[in-house]
Chains A and B, each alone.
Chain A
């Protein structure tokens, strides 16, 4: 029902900065307009809009700003960056069922110049009361708890985390859209960066960004007639694990795991018919480095605890060729999906050769999601 019924026909983004100087609504409207232009579509073609519950720009507000008319599909997904690929899945389901024909997914945020996610402020809801008052009040600290256990269970080191950042910054250095364009780092830079929440250093945490990204989803057959080569959505999945919490799923037997990504992985391989060995490049959500390693394990690229040996080996597909959120920008995972589309089109700054599918994942440690994009 999902596999290859729809495609991403257009991508758009603002510049990525630390201070956009514009409202989030304006960023959203700019990115949506750019995505429609990229697809060769008009605002009046849009009949569906989807975003994150964390996005402060209502679907109807964005529709007004771009001059769209009537909408038949308005939807939102929760759980922060875990929503990234799930908003595309919403669009696919709307297109596949005929509820809408042209759905734009968007995310706009002034995360650096406006509300910063890394500060310690209590979110609404009861679950946070078991963690925030005790001093576990930032995403970095919440991930650090899992990372410490991962190191204990599998012998990973902070250098293994650092190698993830070094690789991301190497790619960002040759991506002109990346904030860290022409600014690669070494492992020694990582070792010298200050502790944020041990065992995580500053350079284990992704950057904070202002910016917006939008994606146009329509049926696969219509996408073939539009301006750009379509990025077929071969699989789109969402998942949460048993006993799931937001960033603090500490009460499962196995702490050093991301079973929600396992739920997503099984669906991705099942829907698409691909296997990890087919993947040309993977854009893995990298808000914090340890979760890049753990995702590789959950996605089936290697066994539990083995990702530190896989990274940098010949068997490992190139990861985050745009520089990821560590190197390009933190647009809550949506810039990673746009990179996936460019890789499929063959227009990426750091183009990975081949014609295999591209895997994209969303925020981890929360209910998450994933996509497989391909040319056919």
Chain B
């Protein structure tokens, strides 16, 4: 059985790196200023030093609203998949490495090759094929940046299969209402016996130690250590995306409590690690308490989505035309991956200071960030890198690792 898509993929991959395609414009200040404005990045170093923000690298070689037909590997493979009915596209992963920042006046060229096509695979969006390309940007033959880029081409489905059920909500009784009121108020509350002072979680109407029916509560510091944890992968949890890391935490006050552990990679969790409480979606959750960066909330208005799409020279209709986005199975226009990359860069330079130099950004997209979402970035600095997570109310929009240049 030969699959025409695999056959085409092998042919295109075997052709190797495409000829260099030269950017339409040299690296220039107006485009940089538009990009910085749209992203909302006030970092003065780009203007001062005459360099482009590193996350802009892909912008220079975007092909505009009416691209000339070209047979580079990305277009060729896309055409094959369009033909096969995989007409919608969403970027899923992007790993960029910056050898140096581009300077105003330089003209870059890009060469791309297809590395892999996988699938068909069932996804939350519909059946699709993932394909991966590698790009190298050069200035006069000198490599300045490279990128591994993975996108999903899929057949849009009227009703996406998974992840749209309502999440499981807690049942609340008169004995437990104080806890959930605390979550709403941003406090982690532990039941404390009004008679003997014993702390207890989960709470109940009586004190198992002295027998008093006099429950009160204390407000916990919100810090503790991981006693044990689980990485849930199967089956899908209603309204959530797997994997979900759940940790049982020894609070510093001496009681244990279960919550989702966010903003970590499953393979880096260790029993004994310090965590701090975070409140999200009406639930207590945990976040690693090492190297935390202050959070940043961005109200993602249609203006943000459209102005950043244009400033990144991305004219895909789903990023500026609501009707088109809805027709393609989305609920609204949504951020493009170049912007998400830019926002991650901005978050890190805002938090670590304007002089910090980035060596690369690797990011993985989760769910889309739609118009009217609030996108909250959190981050953690450790071992020369910053782990960044951007969340909307629906869950993770992006997880990224930003490498700092040494």
Contact = CB atoms under 8 A, between A and B. Distances in A.
A194 interface: yes
A255 B228 CA distance: 9
Interface stretch (B15-23, B35-43, B49-57, B168-176): B168-176
B266 A198 contact: yes
Given A133-B170, A136-B258, A145 B228 contact: yes
Contacts of A131: 258
Given A129-B172, A152-B271, A251 B228 contact: no
B238 interface: yes
Nearest to A248: B258
A61 interface: no
Given A134-B285, A141-B232, A250 B168 contact: no
Interface in B137-181: 167-173, 175-176
B228 A152 contact: yes
A129 B176 contact: yes
Nearest to A132: B168
B198 to A, nearest CB: 13
B197 interface: no
Interface in A106-159: 118-122, 124-138, 141, 144-146, 148-149, 152
Interface residues of B, number: 40
A240 to B, nearest CB: 14
B271 A198 contact: no
A352 interface: no
A250 B170 contact: no
A211 B11 CA distance: 52
A125 B237 contact: no
A132 B271 CA distance: 21
Contact of A148 (B228, B236, B257, B259): B228
Interface in A239-281: 243, 248, 250-251, 255
B271 A149 contact: yes
A127 B202 contact: yes
A348 interface: no
B228 A146 contact: yes
Interface string B168-212: 111111011000000000000000000000000110000010000
A255 B233 contact: no
Interface in B256-315: 256-260, 266, 271, 283-285
A194 B233 contact: yes
Contacts of B238: 120-121
A197 B168 contact: no
B199 to A, nearest CB: 11
A291 to B, nearest CB: 15
A121 B234 CA distance: 13
B237 A120 contact: yes
Interface in A274-317: none
A149 B168 CA distance: 26
B240 A194 contact: no
A145 B176 contact: no
A122 B237 CA distance: 11
Nearest to B230: A144
B130 interface: no
- Which of B201, B229, B234 has the most chain A CB atoms closer than 10 A to its own CB? B234
A130 B284 CA distance: 10
A198 to B, nearest CB: 4
Given A133-B283, A134-B258, A251-B201, A145 B235 contact: no
Given A194-B233, A250-B258, A136 B246 contact: yes
Contacts of B245: 135
A196 interface: yes
A141 B349 CA distance: 38
Nearest to A127: B202
Contacts of A124: 171
B271 A135 contact: no
B233 A133 contact: no
B171 A125 contact: yes
Smallest CB-CB A-B distances: 7 pairs: A129-B170, A198-B231, A135-B244, A149-B228, A144-B230, A135-B246, A130-B202
29 contacts: A120-B168, A120-B235, A120-B236, A122-B169, A125-B171, A126-B171, A126-B173, A129-B171, A129-B176, A133-B170, A133-B283, A134-B283, A134-B284, A135-B237, A135-B245, A136-B246, A137-B232, A138-B235, A148-B228, A149-B271, A194-B233, A196-B234, A197-B234, A198-B231, A202-B234, A251-B201, A255-B227, A255-B228, A255-B248
